Every structure is written in C-alpha cells, then in structure tokens.
Amino acid sequence: MEYTQLGRSGLSVSRLCLGTMNFGPETPEADSHAIMDRAHEHGINFFDTANVYGWQKGKGITEQIIGRWFGSGGGRRERTVIATKLYGSMGDWPNDHKLSALNIRRACEDSLRRLQTDHIDLYQMHHVDRSTPWGEIWEAMSVLRQQGKIIYCGSSNFAGWHLVQAQETARRQHFSGLVSEQSIYNLLTRWVELEMLPAAREYGIGIIPWSPLHGGLLGGVLRKQRDGSGSRGNSGRSAAALEANRDRIEAYEKLCTNLGEDPANVGLAWLLHQDGVTAPIVGPRTTEHLDASLRAVEVTLDAETLSRLDELFPPPGPNGAKPAPEAYAW
C-alpha cells in the first residue's frame, strides 16, 4: 500500500480509504469485521464512516459495528485513522442535526461512545450548514480539540467558496480549520474541477472522492450485465444514468479491456492521478471486492490513456480541462 499526507497535515493515510456505509444494511457484522481485518492486512489504515450510516435514525448502526471491532483489541484502533461525520438527523428534535455548537458537542460524544474510542482522528461535517455561523462552528470544534476528543477537521459536499469561508474564519480564530473535503468525484461527475479542486489545492485541503465509480457504472457494469454477475445499474437512477451514458461506458470498458485492466481499477487509478486527490473511498460489500480494488494503486495511466479518458468523459465547461473562470469565460 502507498501512503500520502492528508492535505497539509502531517497525518499519513493510505491511498485508498475504506468506506463503511454498507456495514449493517448490506454487509452483516461478522463480514464487516472481516473486511476491516483484511483492510489492515493490505495496509489500508484510513476508514470512513458517519453517524447516520446504518440508516436507523439515532442508532448509528455502522459506528457501533466499527466500535465493537475496535473493542476486540489486537491494536485495531491504534492502527486505524478513523474518520466519521455529523450533520444528518439523529433524532426528531430541532437540535438533533446540522452544525450548531450544541449538536457538534452531542454528536461527538455519541460517536465516541458508539466507536468505543476516546478520540476521533478526522471529524467531518457531512454537509454545509448555511444557518450556523462559521465562528460558532470553529469555536465548538476547537473546544473538542482542546479536550482531546478530535484531532483534525474535514468537510463533505462543500462548494469551493465554502472552503474559503471556512478557512478564512478559522485563520481569524487562530484555528487550523479543514484538512480534507469529501466530494463526489469520478469520470462521470467532474464538477469539482471547476472551483472545488483549485480552492482545495490553494488551501492545502486533501480531496477524498466519494462514489468514485459513480454507483458502479464505471466498474464494468455492461460486462457484468452480460455475464449476470452484477445487479447495480439495473434499476432506478442507476438504470437511467446507464442509458444516458451507455455509448461512453461501452467505449470505456473496451478501452479498459485493451489496457488489460478491470474498469473499476482504471476508474480509481484515474482519480489517483489527479492533483490534490488523497484517497478515493472504496465501499466493498465483501473481502473479495476489497482485494480486487488494491490493484488500482499499482495502475499507471500514460498520457495517451488519460487523453482518451478526457475524450470519453470531458471536463465540465466548454473550454476543456481548465478551472473556473477559464472553463467558461473568454
């Protein structure tokens, strides 16, 4: 496994981040524990979760599963950089969600209890809260850091200008601010290249892409449909997205075949080639899925392949692979 720094921090994390959203709803607890053990065997030390995962309001099912794994000992907690998130509703009362100082304090205490740990390595805001001032957010986070309950702060689903707001307020309050941002980012969804990536690079914020294979559409969906080995992409929004992009995805899978690589690994490798990306989040449902993803770290894409991928999945804006405002201005 390769490692890199998380943004401008001194924290070393693996180039793949283990996503745990399937733990509970899709993957039973025993299998989830096996996946986390296998991740450590592969050298993956960076795990991501959220208080809402498990999708039973207020229960934090996924955090509980991870907590019981930590509680089983064997150095599991010590070897893991654990990232969790707050924002989503954990109850039916007005202050059971978002980023008020009150909810930040309560949510952190609840996550610590479920995770069976005394600190969270990376505490992330799952969404921007337009109703809470940044001064209040950073004051609450700084108290948690002074208490030793969190070490680093991150964001998720922010816009580029939100990063600027966050960092400039943190600077005025003599706080370290954000070290990471989780954004949806993949070959089919490249909007972050307009303003998010440039802002993150300027401030030394590491990008952690979620949905790196766009819900499985970049993971060999057409091949799996032909051989009957997968169901993702067959219904709902995935089916609509597949039909809208069928020709491009077919050409993409052909390119991957010519490269002798699995489409999923090419999609992950492409992200690892992007300046500013720390670690895509992989969300395996089985240990076999996790094992297969390790190849992505070894895949090198040459300039010709990267150019072909840009042709198949063009960057946003009419002016090619440029940040805003050049992407859409003269």
Q: Is 102 helix (H, G, I), strand (E, B) or coil?
A: helix
User: Angle 220-224-230 (CA atoms, 0-180°, nearest 5)?
Assistant: 110
Q: Check if the beta carbon of residue 90 is closer than 8 Å to that of residue 102.
A: no
Q: Which H/E stretch holds residue 156?
A: strand 150-156
Residues 53, 123, 152, 203: which is the catalytic one? 53
Largest CA distance in the chain: 59
Query: Any idea what DSSP says for residue 274?
Result: S
DSSP 184-226: E-BTTB-GGGTTHHHHHHHHTPEEEEESTTTTTTTSSHHHHHH
How far, in Å, CA of 6 to CA of 242, rounded? 33
Please give the structure tokens belonging to residue 328. 């859409």
How far, in Å, CA of 218 to CA of 23, rounded? 22
Q: Check if the beta carbon of residue 272 is closer than 8 Å to that of residue 280.
A: yes
Distances (CA, A) of 268 to 261, 280, 283: 11, 7, 12
Q: Is the dihedral of CA 31, 34, 39, 42 positive or negative?
A: negative
Please give the structure tokens belonging to residue 148. 């030793």
Query: Going edge to edge, which strands form the sheet with 281-282?
Result: 206-210, 178-184, 150-156, 120-125, 81-86, 46-48, 17-19, 281-282
Please give the structure tokens belonging to residue 145. 């850091």
State the amino acid at position 65 in one-letter form.
I
How far, in Å, CA of 277 to CA of 273, rounded? 8
Has 152 been annotated as catalytic?
A: no
Residues that are catalytic: 53
